[in-house]
Each structure stands twice: as structure tokens, then as C-alpha cells.
Amino acid sequence: MDSKVLVIGGGIAGPVTAVALQQAGLQPVLYEAYGRGSDGIGAFLTLAVNGIDALGAVGLREPVERLGMETPGMTMVSGRGKHLGTLPMQARTVSRSDLYQVLRDEAVRRGVVIEYGKRLVDAETRDSGVRAVFSDGTSAEGDVLVGADGLRSRARSIIDPGAPPARHIGLLNTGGYARGLRPAGDPGVAHFVFGRRCFFGYFIHPDDDVWWFANPPSRREPTREQLVAIASEQWRARLVDLFADDQGPMLDIIAATDEIFPGWNTYDFPSVPRWHDDRMVIIGDAVHATSPSSGQGASLAIEDAVLLAMCLRDHTDSPAAFRTFEALRRDRVERVVKHGKRSGDGKADGPVKARIRDLVLPALMRRMTAKGSLDWMFDYRIDWDASVSETGSATTVRAGGRP
């Protein structure tokens, strides 16, 4: 196809899609709802090896590898101080705002036009293309529209007004950056603590702060307004109480943090029935948000972006491109979402289940490492030079284990 593509959303999937489309010889224009700044988009995330590799397919690996810290492994302990397991990893932990900024800067450097303050409110499909309408009253026309507009995607509900809402997972998120202390542990490694009443994760930056997060369980789904209303000091008091009976550096890390992040809920989508119509398609969190416990949301969004661009490159009509894209992606992303949900559930175990977990997890982790049972997730490689066929044949993908 030689088309103008309206890409909605300037988070992770959007800019990578725009860069990939341009590399494929198409003409993307990116529309982002907010202004140029990237405040309020959360704390940090870990990019897995599969996501980093997909960035490499479109020349974005190098700028991203300058950010944050290398994460060579993960170690887990219980709140009683029992070592539960260690997994080697090839990953990078980066601040979300830095990542957004670098991806957008790279897109602009390569000549992609980004329009800010453009919130998609509607879109209509015509024989010859698609017209997007924005909240400021303006509109844009293109051949196809890619909805990379995140968890609360408007594009998703335009494609399918009956699309299911996101599922609330009973975990909250907060965290921060602690200054002036060096807890035990290796730099960059993901240190996870299954506390008696709350899960905690921290990463020691080699020459900077300690980056941390906590997942207080919450069966109830607080509104965004309720979460924003919880002040930093209220979070501090709540977390100090939650970790009071646990071993580990949590209380020191919390005390060394000036400002604790406002909280946010956790959601996922087990399965979104309609991914596309003839002219519009959704990618990234818009179509398969996964629990942060999978550590894969950003990486899947990047994989989507690269593969969608290849599908649009290799098909003369958009329905065939979108069918191929879905065929290549659906099984994999739904499997990751399932895996993320299971991992997240383990963070909110009651005392009885927690005791069982502490007994079985060490052996399970050893088996997982020996058998490589997560290879299907991490060993996923995209070959930019391969062509993608309408049957969704995996000629583009070298996957260790099932795709």
C-alpha cells in the first residue's frame, strides 16, 4: 500500500508504528490528545528482550538503550525473608516519560508529523478512506486509521460500540524514587518482595536513586478521582502499615522517598472480539492491555507496531493487512494477558495461599529456569525483511516455543 495512515496516540505503540510505517514507505501522521509534555504518564517500566529486539527492527533500539538501566535478572523473596527464586533476564528498566519522549523525538527526527492537542472523538469509514474527527472540531482524512490510543481507546469503541470494558484486577499501583540509600542487592536487578499484605518491587540504579513500586491489593475499584485524592503522606502512612511486619528494605526505601506517586488501578483485557474493520485497526493497550505483572505491555505494543507496519507494507488492501495482523498476534497476546493475570493474582494471596506459594515457588522457579518455560514469551523475533502472508504464516517470526 502507498497510503496516508492516521495514527492515533503518541504513547509507545503510536510513535513506533509511525516510524515503522515510514520505514515501510507509507505516510503516517500522528495525533496525540495531550500537549507536548509527558507528565502524568506513570513511573517506570521494564522492557523485555522481545520488545527491545522489535525496536531494533526499525532502528529504535539504540536511543532507547541509552535510557534507564539494564535489568539482568529478577530475584524474589518472601516478607519472612525466605529466598524464593532467581531468574536471569535480558531487559531494560526505563522511566515512562523518558521512553515516550525519546520515541516521539525519534519519530520527528525521521520526518513524522506529530499533531498535539488532537483527541479523537469520532471516525467514519468511507469507500475511499477514513475521516477522523477531533475534540477541537478539526478533522483529518487518510486511507487507514491505527488506534494506538491506550487502555481507554476511543478507536476501539468506534470499531465496536459493544466492545467489552477493561477488567479491573484487584491491585493498586504506587511507587517512587528513593534518594541517598543503597539497599542490599545488585544494581539493575528486579528485586521483588512478596510481603504478608502487599507486594513490593525495587531496582537499584547503578549511579542514582532506588526505583520502587508497591501493589496494595484492593477488591474495590476506586475511581481515578478517589486515587488522585490520596496524598503522598497518606500513601506513606498506608504503606508503612502494610509492610510493618515484613523483612526487607521497604520501610527504609519509603522513608527515603520525597514524593510518592499518585496511585492508579490495574486493568487488562482477556479478549477483545473485534480488532478492526476494513479501514481501522487497534493495537497496543487498546486491544490487549495486560497486567503490569507480565512485564510485557510495552513490549507487546512495540511488536504490534512493527508487525502492523509490515502487514500494511505487504498487502495491497487494508482488510487483508488487518486480517493478517490479527492472525499473527491474537494467540500470543491473549496468552501473555493470561500469564500476567496469574502472576498478578499471586501478589494478593491471603496467608494460607501465601504459605503454600512460599513452599512451592522455589522449586517452580528452578523448573521454569531449567525448562525455559517462558521462552515462548521472550524468544519472539521479528524479521523485518520477511514478507507477511494473508494466512498469517509465521515466516516473519522466529518464536521459541508456541507463538
324 in contact with ligand FAD (CB under 6 A): no
HSE (side-chain half, CA atoms, 13 Å) at 45: 24
Q: At 399, list the grid cell.
A: 518464536
Residue 117, burial from CB neighbour count under 10 angstroms (0-12, 13-18, 19+) = middle
32 in contact with ligand FAD (CB under 6 A): yes
d(Cα 250, Cα 257) in Å, to the nearest integer? 11
d(Cα 66, Cα 60) in Å, to the nearest integer? 11
297 in contact with ligand FAD (CB under 6 A): yes
Which of 4, 23, 42, 274 touches ligand FAD (CB under 6 A)?
A: 42
Query: Which CB atom, from 48 or from 311, has the smaller least distance to ligand FAD?
Result: 48
Q: At 23, list the grid cell.
A: 520505514
Which of 4, 23, 27, 34 touches ligand FAD (CB under 6 A)?
A: 34
d(Cα 198, Cα 230) in Å, to the nearest integer? 18
Q: How far is the CB of 54 from ligand FAD (least distance, A)?
A: 12
Q: Which stretch binds ligand FAD (CB under 6 A): 39-47, 72-80, 315-323, 377-385?
A: 39-47
Q: Which stretch binds ligand FAD (CB under 6 A): 30-38, 57-65, 317-325, 384-392?
A: 30-38
What is the DSSP secondary-structure string of 333-397?
Answer: HHHHHHHHHHHHHGGG--HHHHHHHHHHHHHHHHHHHHHTTTHHHH-EEE-TTSPP-TT--GGGE
The mark string for 248-267 relative to ligand FAD (x by CB under 6 A, - otherwise) is: ----------------x---
173 in contact with ligand FAD (CB under 6 A): yes
Query: Which CB atom, from 32 or from 358, has the smaller least distance to ligand FAD?
Result: 32
Place of cell 479523537: 120
17 in contact with ligand FAD (CB under 6 A): no
Query: Which CB atom, from 42 or from 183, has the smaller least distance to ligand FAD?
Result: 42
188 in contact with ligand FAD (CB under 6 A): no
Which of 28, 150, 263, 392 touches ligand FAD (CB under 6 A)?
A: 150
9 in contact with ligand FAD (CB under 6 A): yes
Query: Which CB atom, from 80 or from 338, has the smaller least distance to ligand FAD?
Result: 338
Footprint (CB under 6 A) of ligand FAD, residues 70-129: 118-120
For residue 44, list its beta bridge partners.
95
Query: Which CB atom, from 115 or from 317, has the smaller least distance to ligand FAD?
Result: 115
C-alpha closest to that of 68 among 40, 96, 108, 49: 96
174 in contact with ligand FAD (CB under 6 A): no
Tell how far CA 397 is from the center of its chain: 20
Residue 123, burial from CB neighbour count under 10 angstroms (0-12, 13-18, 19+) = buried
The amino acid present at 227, given as its one-letter code, is: L
* Residue sitting closest to ligand FAD (CB): 11
20 in contact with ligand FAD (CB under 6 A): no
Query: Which CB atom, from 17 or from 78, has the smaller least distance to ligand FAD?
Result: 17
d(Cα 177, Cα 43) in Å, to the nearest integer? 9
Q: Residue numbers of the site for ligand FAD (CB under 6 A)?
A: 8-14, 31-34, 42, 45-46, 118-120, 148-150, 154, 173, 264, 284-286, 292, 295-299, 301
